[in-house]
Structure formats: C-alpha cells, structure tokens
C-alpha cells in the first residue's frame, strides 16, 4: 500500500535534542490487582512531589502482544517518570528502594535517556483522551552494545525525522525513543533484557507494523532505501524482544509538549523552551 504524506503540513512539534535530553525513570511492573494499579495510578498523577525537575509521569497497562521474541512472562504495567537533568535521589528512593519489590510488583527499574532527534511530540501534547482508538505501542529493543553509536546515528538521521513527519501529520500520536543508561534493579525471574524502549500511540486495530507509513516518510529522507533499506540496517544490529499494545492509565505528561526545540517544519511554531 502506498501512503502519501504531504510534507510540512499539520501540527507544530517539539523535539528533544542533545542539549535538552531528558532523563526517565522507567519501572516494569507486575501489578494485576486493581488495588495495586490504583496505588500506582495515584502516584503517577502526583509528580509535583518530586519538585520542579519532574516533567510528569505516565502509567500504561498491558493489553496485547504484537510481537514477542522472549519466553519471559508478560508484565502488566510500565510506569515512566520524566525529569530534567537528573532523577532526584528522593524519586529513586520512593519509587525503587523504599519498599520490597514483592510488595510493589517491581520487576525492573532503569534510568533512560531520550534519544537525540528521535523524541518527538506535538506541541501542546495532552495525551490520548481525545483519541480513544489509539493505544500505546511499546517496543522493548536490544541493540548490540558495539553497535549503539551506529544505531543512535540511524535514529537521529532517518527514523526521528521520518517519525516527526508522521507526528506532524497526526498519523501517530508521539514518537519517543529512549536508551537505557543504567539498570537499577532487575528481578531474577525477569529473564529478558533490553537497552531501548520506544513509545508511540497508534491505532491498534488492523495495525501491521510501521512499514507503509514509515516508507512514505523515509523516501523523502533516504530516497534510495526507504523503509526496507533503513530498517535492514537496523535489523542487523537489534532485536525487538517484545512489542506490546497498552492502555494509558495515567498520562500526566503534558509538560513534555512544552520542552525541547520548536519544529523547524512549521512556520508558526512558537519559539523557546517552556
């Protein structure tokens, strides 16, 4: 299927670049009990307790597997907490260290950094409440350690700009790629690892991957390769360990839509950082 995406049309964006990189505390959780989810959701809606450096939090509930290359059981939730500069010690203590993992359902806690030029949101992002047909696509990816620089370069040069085209055209909600900087905790029973998490809001019904949409956008950037050429390079150095669809439980991360650099593809994009 051929997809046509008019260049430069749509909503202005914000892009997180090297000087603006955000730090994310991610927690992979097994919390099937409604009371546990309620407690997690309450905490995710109260990022102000961590001070001005906290840009918000979000909580996602697993709905379905899209792709799976691991035998590990499926976890129930992913929680993301966004910060400027550094994750405060108080946040790590409360969210990771203060209570035994068995009480909180914690399977893994890690510090992520946003990938330059590949963390893109529409300016004024307010979550997906007005698009109930969309679900959060979460990819857990393992890149070969020796190829991390090459992977980051492909994301910066090709995937990020192509994703920005799709976000601007409202084909996807956001495109947020994040790299693992440090694993703070991993439960022995979690027998799967990754060093990248990609978050994107898509229409899950009938979703067959990003091929057609990204191919159209990539041909404007890499006309000799398109999707097949660019992703062939990626597939040689990475493995998608798990790809899931998720329901947003809490999206208290609107401040992300006021960060970063204004979108150069929209003439009326407001300038400066929020």
The tens-digit pLDDT sequence of the chain (274 residues) is 334 445 555 668 887 776 778 999 999 999 988 999 999 999 998 889 999 999 999 999 999 999 998 888 899 999 999 999 999 999 999 999 999 888 899 999 999 999 989 999 999 999 999 999 999 999 999 999 999 999 999 899 889 999 999 999 999 999 999 999 999 999 999 999 999 999 999 999 989 888 778 888 888 777 666 777 777 778 889 999 999 999 999 999 999 988 765 655 543 333 333 2
Q: Residue 83: what pLDDT?
A: 96
Residue 173 lies in a domain: yes
- pTM for the structure as a whole: 0.89
Residue 1 lies in a domain: no
Residue 270 lies in a domain: no
Residue 99 lies in a domain: yes
Residue 71 lies in a domain: yes
- Total domain count, the chain: 1
And the tokens for 176? Answer: 């947020």
Structural domain that includes position 136: 13-258
And the tokens for 117? Answer: 């030029």
Q: Residue 244: what pLDDT?
A: 97
Strand segments, DSSP code E, in the chain are 13-15, 22-29, 54-68, 77-84, 106-122, 134-143, 175-186, 196-203, 238-252, 261-262
CATH number of domain containing 20: 3.30.70
Residue 273 lies in a domain: no
Whole-number Å distance between alpha carbons of 251 and 176? 14
Whole-number Å distance between alpha carbons of 144 and 194? 10
Residue 6 lies in a domain: no
Whole-number Å distance between alpha carbons of 146 and 112? 18
Q: What is the dihedral of CA 45, 141, 88, 122, to 10 degrees?
A: -50
Q: Residue 261: what pLDDT?
A: 56
Q: If residue 164 lies in a helix (H) or strand (E), which one and from where to where?
A: helix 160-168
Q: Residue 81: what pLDDT?
A: 97
- Write the DSSP assignment of 10-28 as a string of letters: S--EEE--GGG-EEEEEEE
Whole-number Å distance between alpha carbons of 269 and 138? 28
Whole-number Å distance between alpha carbons of 270 and 268? 6
Q: Residue 1: what pLDDT?
A: 36
Residue 114 lies in a domain: yes
């Amino acid at each position: 299927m051929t997809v046509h995406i008019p260049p430069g049309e749509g909503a202005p964006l914000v892009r997180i670049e090297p000087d603006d990189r955000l730090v994310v505390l991610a927690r992979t959780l097994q919390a099937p009990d409604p009371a546990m989810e309620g407690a997690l959701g309450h905490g995710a809606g109260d990022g102000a307790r961590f001070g001005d450096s906290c840009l918000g939090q979000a909580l996602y509930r697993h709905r379905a597997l899209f792709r799976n290359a691991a035998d590990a059981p499926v976890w129930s939730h992913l929680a993301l907490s966004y910060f400027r500069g550094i994750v405060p010690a108080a946040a790590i203590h409360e969210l990771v260290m203060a209570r035994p993992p068995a009480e909180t359902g914690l399977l893994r806690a890690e510090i992520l950094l946003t990938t330059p030029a590949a963390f893109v949101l529409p300016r004024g992002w307010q979550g997906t409440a007005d698009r109930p047909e969309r679900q959060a696509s979460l990819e857990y990816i393992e890149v070969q350690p020796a190829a991390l620089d090459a992977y980051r370069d492909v994301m910066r040069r090709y995937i990020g700009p192509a994703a920005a085209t799709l976000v601007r055209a409202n084909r996807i909600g956001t495109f947020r790629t994040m790299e693992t900087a440090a694993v703070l905790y991993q439960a022995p029973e979690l027998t799967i690892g990754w060093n990248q998490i990609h978050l994107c809001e898509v229409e899950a019904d009938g979703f067959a991957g990003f091929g057609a949409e990204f191919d159209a956008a990539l041909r404007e950037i890499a006309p000799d390769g398109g999707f097949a050429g660019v992703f062939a390079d990626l597939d040689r150095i990475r493995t998608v360990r798990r790809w899931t669809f998720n329901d947003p439980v809490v999206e208290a991360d609107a401040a992300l839509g006021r960060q970063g650099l204004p979108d150069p593809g929209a003439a009326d994009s407001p300038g400066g950082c929020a």
